[in-house]
Structure 1
Amino acid sequence: MKFSSCDLCDAHEDLLRLGTLQVLPPVFQRYGQAPAFSGPAFTLKVFEDNALVRSALEQPGLGQVLVVDGGGSLRCGMVGGKLAALADTNGWNGIIVFGCVRDVDELNAGAVGIRALGLHPQRSARKGLGDAGLTVAIAGVMVRPGDWIYADADGVLVSQEPLS
């Protein structure tokens, strides 16, 4: 589906007023070859530990967007080049990290669209701590499993229903 987040906001001002369509704050940097991506959210809540991120990306993505609530940590990278390649291989449409990523050259060479707060060269822990399938807070916006994510050059939208 080709879309513009600006056009979606204009066409769905009623949903914005109701709060069933929200816009993430403009704090995310863009990585990867895909200028835009969309799909239902698969949520993770982790903190400076990316073992569950790897586990999720090893599964068939089925066109979903992995939404990682990393607590906004700026102390390590939660997704690197190998995990981005895994996401592409397994059919994930995109990744949003409320935290940092690493391996910027590999991320930017990859096909999967990624949004994150920034870059950090240090890798995360790999203890397997965290939860999947929860409602998470991404920069103050609640994202529920199955919410629709629309990300393009103008921003990231979270909708409780698919938009057209």
Structure 2
Amino acid sequence: MDIATADLYDQRGDRLDSLSVPLHDVGGRPAFHGPIRTVRCHRDNALVKAMLASSGDGAVLVIDGGGSLESALVGDLIAASAVDNGWAGIIVHGAVRDRTAISGLSIGVKALGFNPRRSAKDGRGEVDVPVEIGGVVFTPGRGVWADPDGVLVER
């Protein structure tokens, strides 16, 4: 990433929202940015897996798992698929697993927490709809920037 989120906020803060939800850096790239794509799901990662198996074109997948830490929505195989398909990053308002393996992948991953339990694979949820996390709306197509300081979202 060319510019730190703190500097970007200083320059364009009137057009950005800052996510106050504390997320852990998990991926091998702590700084990433791109256009937003979204999945809203609860303890079911079939849509996440399908989305990250498709061409990412440098996008960031924002997963609204409702903040549930009961099962993981992303693991190492899904994250590796995202790398192979050109995704810039993944932001998970929920849990991930295989964090040691994910840390070795060339992708940005931020997550609320961790759980080794797999999630369901029923395909329940929504794709490319606006999602709200911590009072910040992530609208598909708008920009998102993330680094160790946090996450900024284009209004």
Match of 1:134 among 129, 144, 147: 129
Letter in 1 for 2:45: N
The TM-score with structure 2 as length reference comes to 0.97
Matches within 5 A, 1:10-49: 10-15=10-15, 21-49=16-44
**Unaligned 5+ runs, structure 2:** none
The answer as to 2:98 corresponding to 1:103 is: yes
Give deviations 1:115-153, integer Å, cap 9, x for gaps: 010111101000000010111012221111112110011
In the alignment, structure 1 residue 9 sits paired with structure 2 residue 37: no
Shift of 1:39: 0.1
Backbone CA RMSD of aligned residues: 0.9
Please identify runs of 4+ aligned residues in structure 1 that moved more than 6 A: none
Tell me which of 41, 58, 61 is aligned to 2:53.
Answer: 58
State the alpha-carbon separation in 2 of the partners of residues 74 and 117 from structure 1: 8
CA distance in 2, matches of 1:22, 1:57: 25
Q: TM-score, normalised by structure 1?
A: 0.92
Deviation per CA, 1:63-91, whole angstroms, max 9, x where unpaired?
00000000110101100000110000000
Q: Distance in 2 between matches of 1:83 and 1:105?
A: 14
| 1:140-159 to 2 correspondences below 5 Å | 140-159=135-154
Q: Find the aligned partners of 2:39 and 2:123 in 1 and give their Cα distance.
A: 12
Aligned residue for 1:18? none
User: Are residue 85 (structure 1) and residue 97 (structure 2) matched?
Assistant: no
Maintained 8 Å contact 2:30/2:109: no
| Consecutive unaligned residues in structure 1, runs of 5 or more | 16-20
Range that drifts further, 136-145 or 49-58: 136-145
Q: Distance in 1 between matches of 2:70 and 2:142?
A: 28
